[in-house]
């Protein structure tokens, strides 16, 4: 049976030899997925006192997707990763009616990815040995522009992929039921302590909520999630990225 | 739109029938991207910070500032790694995605990050009241990502 090194497409980061680059030094490897944007946009609303949950966006994917929401108004003129009070089902993204201070106007920017947050996935592992940049020139590369955008655009947002950029690629999506209450350890075997996104089953049936109140400890082969405010209990999902949180 | 494009299926899937979820690349769905280092700016990097003293109640301290210069507010995210830790408030060798608070219950001290149309910042915020942990000489590592894509 052919292995992952026998065929496929790899693109290394600028200056790294594609044949020897570690997984986190690759921009693209056809053996694993990146965060593919299925839907993005902004949503503005006025918070009410414990009102009904609001629909932020309709994705219609038929599964609970990985998503991120950035708060565009919590700090003046700034955007930051907002990790609470948003959840998805298999059709929509919602914000809790308990969000914010009643009467205040909020704007968020959201991304819904073409990746299930609840269906397990494990990518193959390759080298985690960091290579030194070879200092190649910028005269060649790989880029695909979005439909309707010029391949000569200097705005990197106009591209589907661009070898002048780096991507967070997905090593694993794992879902588990933590019961009894406690922590959760999963094996990743990446060779470093990885970055992640974390989700939990929402209080409404069949929903998935962003959940950031977790502290992690990790080795080069496993990662443990512990509740920062209280012990984990229930169904959780972790998206593990092929990227170390420390320099290696 | 379906008449042209570029697809690469994940191992084990037929590219002619693979769904976007079964593809490593599908030109209809752009990827979240981070610009390579340009002009001395690192849009994806690690950084260290050691508190020389403990920030006072009611203060916000800039721990890291990166000038991205995009002219719009990009999406961003970051992790904080406890090199020395803050006792049981944030144990050594543990890490969290920002925003991240120390301890449990009422938040007195927290790390946060954000980006406006010119800079990305990681800050340490101390509430106006409460009993803060003494951060003096504690050491932290941050891993941050400033995406090309909009955050606002």
Tell me how far apart the alpha carbons of residues A46 and A59 are, in angstroms, rounded to a whole number. 22
Rg (CA), chain A: 20
- Given a cut of 70, whether residue A94 has pLDDT beyond it is yes
Contact A187/B at CB under 8 A = no
In Å, how far are A43, B7, B60, B61 from B4, measured between CA atoms? 31, 10, 51, 50
Residue A167 is nearest to which of B6, B10, B31, comparing CB atoms? B31
Contact B7/A at CB under 8 A = no
When mean pLDDT is compared across A15-29, A101-115, A146-160, B43-57, the lowest value belongs to A15-29
Q: Which carries the bigger pLDDT value, residue A29 or residue A38?
A: A38
Residue A9 is nearest to which of B8, B113, B116, comparing CB atoms? B8
Interface list for B 15-44 with A (CB within 8 A) = 20-21, 23-36, 44
DSSP assignment of A177-234? EEEEEE-EEEE---SS-EEEEEEEE-SSTT-EEE---EEEEE-SSEEEEEESSS-EEE
Tell me how far apart the alpha carbons of residues A109 and A44 are, in angstroms, rounded to a whole number. 9
Residue A147 is nearest to which of B1, B21, B90, comparing CB atoms? B1
Contact A148/B at CB under 8 A = no
The pLDDT value given to residue A3: 55
Say which DSSP state B21 is in.
G
The pLDDT value given to residue A1: 44
Instruction: Flag if A216 and B94 touch (Cβ within 8 Å).
Output: yes
Inter-chain CB pairs, A–B, below 8 Å: 206
The pLDDT value given to residue A223: 97
B51 confidence band (pLDDT: 50, 70, 90): very high
| Cα A171 from chain centre | 11
A164 confidence band (pLDDT: 50, 70, 90): confident
Interface list for B 108-137 with A (CB within 8 A) = 112-117
Residue A38 is nearest to which of B1, B29, B93, comparing CB atoms? B29
CA distance A110 to chain B (A): 8
This complex has an ipTM of 0.93
Task: For residue A186, give both structure tokens.
Answer: 């999963």
A77 confidence band (pLDDT: 50, 70, 90): low
Identify whether the C-beta of residue B116 lies closer than 8 Å to the C-beta of residue B66.
no
Q: Is A25 helix (H, G, I), strand (E, B) or coil?
A: helix
Say which DSSP state B138 is in.
-
Instruction: Flag if B11 and A77 touch (Cβ within 8 Å).
Output: no
Paired with B140 in beta bridges are B49, B82
Contact A242/B at CB under 8 A = no
Residue A228 is nearest to which of B23, B27, B96, comparing CB atoms? B96
Q: What is the Cβ-side half-sphere exposure of residue A240, based on CA atoms within 13 angstroms?
A: 31
pLDDT per position as a tens digit, B5-18: 889 999 999 999 99
Tell me how far apart the alpha carbons of residues A68 and A89 are, in angstroms, rounded to a whole number. 14
- Given a cut of 70, whether residue A76 has pLDDT beyond it is no
Q: Name chain B contacts of A160, Cβ cutoff 8 Å.
A: 6, 25, 27, 29-31
Question: Model-level pTM?
Answer: 0.93
């Amino acid at each position: 049976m052919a292995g992952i090194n026998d065929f496929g497409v790899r693109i290394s980061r600028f200056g790294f030899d594609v044949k020897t680059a570690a997984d986190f030094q690759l921009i693209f490897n056809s053996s694993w997925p990146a965060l593919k944007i299925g839907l993005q946009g902004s949503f503005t609303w006025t918070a009410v006192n414990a009102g009904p949950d609001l629909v932020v966006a309709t994705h219609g994917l038929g599964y609970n997707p990985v998503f991120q929401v950035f708060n565009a108004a919590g700090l003046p003129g700034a955007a930051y990763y907002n990790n609470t009070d948003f959840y998805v089902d298999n059709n929509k993204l919602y914000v809790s009616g308990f969000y914010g201070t009643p009467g205040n106007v909020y704007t968020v920017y959201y991304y819904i990815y073409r990746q299930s947050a609840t269906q397990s996935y494990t990518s193959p592992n390759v080298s985690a040995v960091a290579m030194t940049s070879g200092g190649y020139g910028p005269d060649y590369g790989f880029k695909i522009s979005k439909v309707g955008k010029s391949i000569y655009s200097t705005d990197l947002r106009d591209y589907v992929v661009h070898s002048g950029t780096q991507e967070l690629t997905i090593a694993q999506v794992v879902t588990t039921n933590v019961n009894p209450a406690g922590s959760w350890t999963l094996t990743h075997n990446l060779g470093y302590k990885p970055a992640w996104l974390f989700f939990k089953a929402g209080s409404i049936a069949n929903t998935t909520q962003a959940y950031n109140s977790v502290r992690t400890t990790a080795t080069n082969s496993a990662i443990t999630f512990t509740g920062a405010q209280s012990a984990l209990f229930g169904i959780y999902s972790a998206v593990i990225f092929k990227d170390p949180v420390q320099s290696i | 739109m379906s008449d042209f494009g570029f697809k690469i299926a994940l191992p084990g899937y037929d590219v002619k029938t693979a769904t976007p979820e079964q593809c490593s690349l599908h030109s209809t769905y752009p990827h979240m991207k981070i610009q390579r280092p340009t002009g001395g700016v690192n849009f994806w990097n690690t950084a260290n910070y050691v508190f020389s003293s403990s920030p006072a109640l009611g203060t916000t301290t800039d721990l890291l500032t990166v000038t991205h210069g995009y002219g719009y507010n990009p999406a961003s995210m970051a992790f904080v790694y406890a090199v020395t830790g803050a006792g049981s408030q944030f144990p050594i060798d543990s890490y969290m995605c920002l925003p991240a608070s120390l301890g449990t219950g009422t938040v007195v001290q927290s790390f946060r990050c954000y980006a406006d149309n010119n800079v990305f910042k990681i800050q340490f915020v101390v509430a106006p009241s409460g009993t803060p942990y003494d951060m003096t000489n504690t050491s932290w590592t941050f891993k941050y990502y400033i995406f090309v894509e909009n955050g606002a």
